[in-house]
């Protein structure tokens, strides 16, 4: 996770994608590159969901999603933390409204 926190290019890319979308942006970070995925949730402005066939797993894979401008929540939602148990991956979240990144380290 430290390499992601220090990767200004990647963080700025994630921020730009998130700011330009009024729905939750989601995807995976692998080898310091972001791989965007379709948000398959029926309510993509407030939740995200990625089809299993679209998923990437691995020890070095990190799940990313955004909270768009209308979402005032600081940090991860209960939904995010429940999702984390399914994905079993570390997570990065960007909040457009708060202009902040949040990190969740998966320790299994």
Phi, psi angle pair for 105, to nearest 5°:
-90, 125
90 contacts 103 by C-beta, under 8 angstroms: yes
- Considering the rule CB under 5 A, would residue 77 count as an interface residue with Zn ion? yes
Structure tokens at 44: 């993509």
Minimum distance of Zn ion from residue 86's CB (angstroms): 14
Binding range to Zn ion, per CB under 5 A, among 9-17, 32-40, 49-57, 75-83: 75-83
Nearer to Zn ion, 23 or 54 (CB): 23
* Three-class DSSP category at 10: helix
Q: What is the dihedral of CA 95, 5, 92, 97, to 10 degrees?
A: 0
Minimum distance of Zn ion from residue 108's CB (angstroms): 21
- Considering the rule CB under 5 A, would residue 80 count as an interface residue with Zn ion? yes
Interacting residue ranges for Zn ion, rule: CB under 5 A: 77, 80
């Amino acid at each position: 996770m430290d390499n992601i926190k220090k990767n200004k290019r990647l963080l700025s890319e994630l921020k730009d994608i998130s700011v330009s979308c009024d729905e939750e942006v989601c995807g995976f970070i692998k080898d310091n590159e972001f791989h965007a995925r379709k948000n398959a949730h029926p309510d993509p402005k407030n939740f995200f969901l990625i089809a299993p066939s679209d998923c990437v797993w691995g020890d070095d894979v990190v799940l990313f999603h955004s909270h768009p401008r209308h979402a005032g929540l600081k940090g991860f939602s209960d939904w995010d933390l429940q999702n984390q148990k399914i994905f079993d991956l570390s997570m990065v979240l960007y909040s457009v409204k708060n202009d902040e990144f949040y990190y969740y380290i998966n320790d299994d």
